[in-house]
Structure 1
Amino acid sequence: MESVVFFENFKREDVLSNLLSAFQKEMQSVDQIIRNKIVSDVTNVPDISNHIFISGGKRLRPLLTLASARLTEYAGKSHITLAASVELMHTATLLHDDVVDESDMRRGRQTARMGWGNAASVLVGDYLLGQAFRLMVSTGSIPALKVLSDAAAIIAEGEVLQLSIMNNLDTTEDAYMRVVDSKTAALFSAATEVGALIGDQDHSVAAALASYGRNLGIAFQLVDDVLDYGHSSDIGKNAGDDFREGKITLPIILAYRRGDESEREFWRRTIEARDQKEDDFEKACNLLTKYKTLEDTRDRAAHYGSIAKDALVTFRETETRQQMLDVINFCISRAY
């Protein structure tokens, strides 16, 4: 089957810059709230927080909160507070992930755990999560608080579930997709849903935006799985990190199922036993190419992208709606 080409006449490099430009004033306010929330007399708190925030990132999740609020014609200011809360939650998960995954680099820089240790990284992640909840409460929106607190619990469950399948080649595609749904899609879904809830929109409106976020998040993660087996230095981590960490992702699951016995033995040695040689990553990439698992993973991502697109059908055609559709295109075809 041919790999899906998602939407014609799409300029990938323009999407995030256009989105940031459209929400420039709001994002400046989001950044200011975050800066205010990472101030502390305890030196490691601002040091570690600034380290990870300065390293950049797409700021996609808070942008989606702002876009969802604008799509539903919300006229207040609480969406800015919730967008900051979403970004703080996301940053907390990054600090925790780097400890769990024993990662040395993120976005081309040394991870916080390498500079300050695992314990400090985890605890500062907890601090940021606490600050995120303070922001949620300050909006006075119980529905938004419920959605984001539920997401925090689901993300933690996803982290534990990922630990249980780590290095386990018997993991099924269904089990892996449950991890993706919990670890990644839950926060995307919450980020978009609260944009509707803050304006007291009907349940159907909030549900549509939650569906958009969830399916976009799944697509985003599946493409991330593909990018780990590329050669870009701009994907937010070193290419090959997933392989070196023995992380089970969809391309590996598919290649293991489709390979012969000698190839399965290669995966057992490199992924389960973590016994890796210098040229093993190149061989892994060759096997993924041989069995078209990277193409198939992108096709699955495009499927979820199509569901996200359909979730926006009920909204009238506006510039914001088009920008949210463009984000789907970006997530499917991105190279970083």
Structure 2
Amino acid sequence: MSAIEDIRQSLKSELERLDTLISRTLDSSNTLMNQVIGNYLEHKGKQLRPMLVMLTARLFGGVNDDALTAAASVEILHNASLIHDDVVDDSGRRHGHATINAVWDNHVAVLVGDFFVSNALKLATETEDLRVIRAIADLGKLLSLGEMDQIYNARYHELNEEAYFNVISHKTASLFVTCVSMGAYCSGVDDWRLDAIREFAELFGRCFQIKDDIFDYFDSQVIGKPTGNDLREGKVTLPLLHALSNGASPERDEMLSLLREDRVLSDSDIRRLIAFTHENGGVEYAYATMERMRAEAVAILDKFNSPLTSQFISLLDFVIAREK
């Protein structure tokens, strides 16, 4: 049994209650809404985010009803963002399954996503903890800003690591930071431990996104998105950014010119950029960056002096090693 399956097994009771709560929360009086959501929930993801809420609550005492409610809230909001992203990106499949917009249409998908958002907020209010409510509201804002930052960088050619990390802090790491914050709040923790676990979650989220971005530079049917998909959308991520920082490369200026042209990149352009990235150590640099962040994350967890932190490390290792 893998480490992540060990963690899922240890949280089996809580995850079953989570699934029940999510299904009950998203039930409605509309037959079509229930049909669409029922089909969508048949293919739930890895549930990393609610697992982080629960593990944090367990680290600080135990998974109470408020922690479970907060975990459901953040998972529903996360799924709302995925549904809306599929509409924006005109995606037909996600992790091997047809998207709502592909099966139905954009109109239905947007409405379902909005329904998810409102129910995420409703669940947060049921904790009656203003910090949890504020966290879920702030998360929605950060996710939107992260997407807009990414669009801005693509359109105005902000090709530097600082801009890249600002984007992934908003669009990805913010979710994981919110998860551990909620777990801490629901356990009555609001001291140095909250700051420390948030620092861990930021590093966790950055590693998650960097690994996602690495996938763009490899041809794999397992990953669930075509090679070079980010580049087609104008997204220049860490591997290519590092390769472009190599001023000694004779191809650097030509690659920069390709990226700055106001046109859609061709398949040939994509292949050249990917080859350039590999030849100039971009992928290796991205992996090294994750390993550096892992070491920082482990050092943060050492402050807690608890055997429970091993599960956080196992989740982080899963994120770095995963193949999709």
Tell me the TM-score normalised to structure 1 length. Answer: 0.88
Q: How does 1:253-332 map to 2 (within 5 A)?
A: 253-258=241-246, 259-268=251-260, 272-277=262-267, 279-318=268-307, 320-332=308-320
In 1, are the aligned partners of 2:161 and 2:238 still within 8 Å (CA)? yes
In 2, Cα distance between equivalents of 1:287 and 1:108: 29
Q: Residue 229 of structure 1 aligns to a residue in which SS?
A: coil
Query: Is 2:130 the counterpart of 1:107?
Result: no
Deviation at 1:248, TM superposition (A): 2.6
In 2, are the aligned partners of 1:169 and 1:256 still within 8 Å (CA)? no
Q: Tell me the equivalent position of 1:3.
A: none
In 2, Cα distance between equivalents of 1:221 and 1:61: 14
In 1, are the aligned partners of 2:54 and 2:63 still within 8 Å (CA)? no
Deviation at 1:281, TM superposition (A): 4.0
In 2, Cα distance between equivalents of 1:125 and 1:303: 36
Query: Is 2:182 the counterpart of 1:190?
Result: no
Identify which range, 246-255 or 81-90, moves more after superposition.
246-255
Residue type at the aligned position of 2:290: A
Identify which range, 63-72 or 134-143, moves more after superposition.
134-143
Q: Tell me the equivalent position of 2:107.
A: 119
Residue type at the aligned position of 1:129: V
Deviation at 1:65, TM superposition (A): 0.5
Give unmatched runs, 5+ long, in structure 2: none
Q: Residue 312 of structure 1 aligns to a residue in which SS?
A: helix
Q: Residue 20 of structure 1 aligns to a residue in which SS?
A: helix
- Once superposed, which parts of structure 1, at least 4 consecutive aligned residues long, lie more than 4 Å away? none
In 1, Cα distance between equivalents of 2:276 and 2:190: 49
Deviations 1:220-239 (A, max 9, x none): 10111001222333335344
Deviation at 1:46, TM superposition (A): 2.8
In 2, are the aligned partners of 1:44 and 1:120 still within 8 Å (CA)? no
Identify which range, 225-234 or 54-63, moves more after superposition.
225-234
In 1, Cα distance between equivalents of 2:82 and 2:182: 21
Q: Residue 166 of structure 1 aligns to a residue in which SS?
A: helix
**Match 1:45 to one of 8, 33, 38:** 33
Deviation at 1:179, TM superposition (A): 0.8
**Match 1:147 to one of 128, 135, 140:** 135
Residue type at the aligned position of 2:23: R
Q: Tell me the equivalent position of 2:163.
A: 175
Give unmatched runs, 5+ long, in structure 1: 1-12
Tell me the TM-score normalised to structure 2 length. Answer: 0.91
**Match 1:166 to one of 144, 151, 154:** 154
Residue type at the aligned position of 2:119: Q
Residue type at the aligned position of 1:273: R
Two-structure CA RMSD over aligned residues (Å)? 2.1
Deviation at 1:137, TM superposition (A): 0.9
Deviation at 1:131, TM superposition (A): 0.6
Query: Is 2:221 the counterpart of 1:233?
Result: yes
In 1, are the aligned partners of 2:57 and 2:183 still within 8 Å (CA)? yes
Change in 2 beyond 3 A, CA 1:260/1:113 = same
Residue type at the aligned position of 1:99: V
Q: Tell me the equivalent position of 1:71.
A: 59
Deviation at 1:142, TM superposition (A): 1.7
Deviations 1:144-203 (A, max 9, x none): 222222222111111221222235434322112111000001110010111111011142
Deviations 1:287-328 (A, max 9, x none): 21101111111222222222322221222332x311111112
Deviations 1:48-99 (A, max 9, x none): 3334432332110000111000011135222111111111011011112122
In 1, Cα distance between equivalents of 2:314 and 2:280: 30
Change in 2 beyond 3 A, CA 1:17/1:236 = farther
In 2, are the aligned partners of 1:192 and 1:209 still within 8 Å (CA)? yes
Identify which range, 182-191 or 222-231, moves more after superposition.
222-231
In 1, are the aligned partners of 2:150 and 2:167 still within 8 Å (CA)? yes
Residue type at the aligned position of 2:292: H
Identify which range, 203-212 or 85-94, moves more after superposition.
203-212
In 1, Cα distance between equivalents of 2:209 and 2:69: 26
In 1, Cα distance between equivalents of 2:213 and 2:64: 38
Q: Percent identity?
A: 28
- Paired residues in the alignment total 320
Q: Tell me the equivalent position of 2:10.
A: 22
